[in-house]
A and B are shown apart, each in its own frame.
Chain A
Amino acid sequence: MTANTPSECPVESQNQNDSRTDQQLIAAINAGDVAAFEALYFRYRDWVVKLVYRFTGSEDLALDVMQETFLYFLRKFPGFRLTANLKTFLYPAVRNLTIAARRKAGRYQSTETEQVQLEQVPAADEPAGSGNDLAIALASLSEQHREVLLLRYVDGLNLAEIAEAADVPLGTVKSRLHNALEILRQDKRTRQFFEE
């Protein structure tokens, strides 16, 4: 196994084939099934890493917080009860651990995130409506607006799950999503997405 092909790791591929639902895996973990935890870990690992990277723009922090998140999750067993989408449980944990990690690292998220986004600024002759335009437009949104948009359309959470994860009322989530979409509609870089 080379360092660039983690997907060839036999353990990871084995656990990615685990067809049990999250609820079934949780029940197995509560019974002490380590393989069930492995399956759940690999199922959500990349999402957690991506989420932290989205917050911080730092690979190192993404890896650190990912570990902390799963160790925090592990300590909930036995006795953990999954009442909703697991992402709904993981999201606030990831966010809080990211805040703590950023404080410890002495970095400011918005600056780094914007810097990462700005690295994707297209050349002058790149056609409008490209993914980079969208990325730049997203970077111009407030964190609250951007997050609700990405949680809904990239991470696949429904509005109720977003409300629970972000610990805000459902109406607030709807309002933020509406405002985010309105801003993108008004933005000349992303207006074409709203045109027929």
Chain B
Amino acid sequence: MKPGDINTRRDGEEPQAPEKLVAALEELPARRVFVPPAIDAAVLLAAHRHLTGPRRREFGALLAWLKWPAWAAACLVVVGLVCFFKKPGGVTSTVALMDLNHDGRVDILDAFQLTRELQSGQKPPSGLDLNSDGVVDQRDVHIIASQAVKLEKGGRS
């Protein structure tokens, strides 16, 4: 290689710059930008806040951030369940009324009991006017019987 030639091998070696060039590059007039102390203070203050205690604050903030969505989700679930199980007039209250023998289930036995009460001349509770026609009669017995078949596991009062 001749003096001044650049090492052209790029297959593994680094191109070498002449020493004079390297020295000149290192001595290039570099304009010094003055950094006001106020800027240093601002950066260091941020560092102080971030490094001393922000972990707990951040963790606490994270927990707080998670808490509200979690609470909201829980409330939605509860409201949803309540709405699902409670119709106007109340599914659960109607089921409870239909459980005439109070065995915790609405089944054909409850239909039989209402039939017996009607045949014996007893006045069943007005809440058993399930078809809202103003009277408690065999039609309401049929409704109880159909509910007994519909409700899985006999329903619960």
Residues of A near any B CB (own CB < 8 A): 1, 3-4, 6, 9, 11-12, 29, 32-34, 37-38, 41-42, 45-46, 49-50, 53, 59, 62-63, 66-67, 70-71, 74-75, 77-78, 116, 120, 131, 134-135, 138, 149-150, 152-154, 159, 171, 174-175, 177-178, 181-182, 184-185, 190, 192-196
Classify chain B: how many residues form its interface, as a range.
35 or more
Q: Is the interface of A mostly helix, strand, loop or mixed?
A: helix
Do A32 and B42 contact each other (CB < 8 Å), given the known contacts A53-B33, A154-B28? no
**A190 CB to closest chain B CB, in angstroms?**
7
Q: Are B47 and A41 in contact (CB under 8 A)?
A: yes
Q: Are B21 and A195 in contact (CB under 8 A)?
A: no
Would you call B39 an interface residue if the criterion is a C-beta within 8 Å of the partner chain's C-beta atoms?
A: yes
Residues of B near any A CB (own CB < 8 A): 3-6, 8, 10, 14-15, 17-18, 20-22, 24-37, 39-40, 42-44, 46-48, 50-52, 55
Query: Can you spell out 13 A-B residue pairs with CB atoms less than 8 angstroms apart?
Result: A9-B37, A29-B51, A38-B44, A45-B40, A77-B50, A116-B31, A135-B29, A152-B17, A153-B22, A159-B14, A175-B10, A178-B8, A193-B21
For B33, the chain A residues whose CB sits under 8 A away are 49-50, 53, 59, 62-63
For B46, the chain A residues whose CB sits under 8 A away are 71, 74
Q: Are B10 and A195 in contact (CB under 8 A)?
A: no
For B34, the chain A residues whose CB sits under 8 A away are 3-4, 6
A184: nearest chain-B partner, CB-CB: B21
For A62, the chain B residues whose CB sits under 8 A away are 33
Name the residue among A45, A71, A153, A196 with the largest chain B CB count within 10 angstroms.
A153
For A33, the chain B residues whose CB sits under 8 A away are 51
**A116 CB to closest chain B CB, in angstroms?**
8
Do A131 and B47 contact each other (CB < 8 Å), given the known contacts A153-B17, A194-B4, A194-B21? no
